Structure 1
Amino acid sequence: MSVSIVVPMYNLERYVAPLLDSLLDQSEKRFEVIIIDDGSTDRTYEVAEAILARHPILRAKLIRTANAGVSAARNTGLAAAGGDYVLFLDGDDYIASGLVQAIESNTWSAAPDILCWGYSLVREDKSTIVNFTSAASDTTGSEALKNIFVHKSLRIWTGSIAFKRTFLLENGIRYTERCVNGEDQEFIYKALSRASRAISIPDVLSFYLQRTSSISNTYNVNKFDMVDAFKRVADYFKAFPFEGTSEISELLLNRELTENYFYNLKTCLNGTAGMDVRRLLQDIDARYPGLPQEMRPIIREYRGDDRQLALQIRAFLISPSLYGALIVIDRNWVQFKHKLKTVMGRKEIKV
């Protein structure tokens, strides 16, 4: 049993070493790493090349391409992969020393289509923000989707799931190129809907770095690509139905779509000082004609259990400016708590 680890990189020269260090530390050595430099303008390629040259024990392919986005880079890596299982990591993430061993031991005899595990959100100093784990399970992909959408007992991130390579190839599952947000969820949900067997293990084995400069924390209207990504998933479910399709599709196109839409509104507003919500909506409408109007009836029917979001939705439907004011209040409160915590910490040190 062998594993291919596909890593797209774009202007991540600071993060190449930590990632490759975590790969060099693997207790099981039967894996290959495929690094795709997606047209970086910094020294990402050169740094990776130098590290790999110093560690020939690491089986690696270093591929340089013109900038085409993370989805195209992942597809390039998948095409170059030769392992039985494929794992996709981002260039600023890293993994536990026992990850490859865990993949091997849980797929050797069972040979599931999909294997997933727990993960941690971490800061740049590697301190943990939160762990996401779930109970061990051995089920179908459709049951795993129910655990994600209905029971909310399972969370999966791009770097916490491995796919049988032949399963992806036989079902024609690829990343949607030129989609900059939501492409990872689209890929995972499509794969789960076709998986005959999906195994989940509770161990935390990968680490998702939360960078303030990432697309998730900046003003980037393209992040609303996720709306079309979710629609493509729903269309895929219709084309390849499974038990529970209608319930999961309804949750996807209402609760999940609304929560992701408002998360992106919030991060855009917080990503640029003084950004007005009406200007943001105009920018969204210019990039995706009619989307703000299309989302209003969906938002109005939100049936999730996030009370804070429900309050923000009511404010938004009354007046987007009122919603914007709530976001400013929330941001200022978070900043105040952070400053207070810092001051109190200094006082404790002095005492």
Structure 2
Amino acid sequence: MTHDPYASPAGPVPARSGELVLVTGGNGYLGAHVVRRLLDTGHRVRATVRSPQRAAEVRAAAAAGGAADPGERLEVVRADLSADAGWAEAARDCTYVLHVASPFPAGVPRHPDELIVPARDGALRVLRAARDEGVERVVLTSSFAAIGYSRKPGDTYDEGDWTDPDDDLTPYIRSKTVAERAAWDFMASQGGRTELAVINPTGIFGPLLTPRLSVSVALVKAMLDGALPVVAPQYFGVADVRDVADAHLRAMTHPDAAGERFLVSSDTAISFLRMAALLAEHLGERAARVPTRELTADQVREAARTDPALREAAGQLGKVPVLRTDKARAVLGWHPRDVATTLVDTAESLYDLGLVHN
């Protein structure tokens, strides 16, 4: 199966005149797609990585699938979200900054601040550098985690909703909420002429540009490998990585996006079990090892006592979120792929890269 890693169902973002855009975390799963979209639309890109050894990953992703070598249109620089050094230079001469990088650990940290503090302080470092260097607009990658993890009647969520970080939440969910709140507060009091827009995606799936797995794609791999025989009864929205990248570019330039946040997701939330069923339906024997059973609610609650990985699922039992993406559609002209396409393309990408072991 051939993947188009950057096409949007809503049509292309108009080509630009070589403006320089800073992308933080350019070697990450989403960051790599954002870099590719920017290059495809005529921008020059400066991508940050935490260590020089990661620079090759950015260039490999930019040239994946036979894409043209961007040459001097792509620059990779070192800048770490945990330190001030390098951020002023990274933002210098940039028209826009897309702050995509954020900690997302595979496991639960020993202390919540190990995740919350870097996410918050890293966002503020990027915003401060953007303001000081005269960047026109910053687009921050936040998450549905900052919108919809506090319960409300009807469980219908849009950009006007906020997760309460004082609720009993996992460190990751709290980190996204605290970091986004801090970003908006900073821009209101110290942002100067620089504008801010925020993208709040649900769970991000879709094809990989490099073999390095994201947490969400690793879940699909575990299903296909047969390493996940039973799943929690949890519902969530699916956002295609290509559509999330597309939303960033639209929010970057649209005049009505300044000062706004945008929920980006499939229309309907699905469960892990439904995800497995879709994979089986479309992939046949290649998905013969996907899970076919769910834990009961009592089993989730009991397991969550000793397994931090199930704590989030326990807190969301019985919740089927209704996801309102009207704003992204109306303001940005954004439209998502259907969930089946996203999940099948995720799986095909894993097969193409030789990452499924069955």
Query: Would you say same fold, with TM above 0.5?
Result: no
After TM superposition, the score normalised by the length of structure 2 is 0.31
Structure holding more helix per residue: 1
- TM value normalised by structure 1: 0.32
Q: Which has the larger radius of gyration?
A: 1
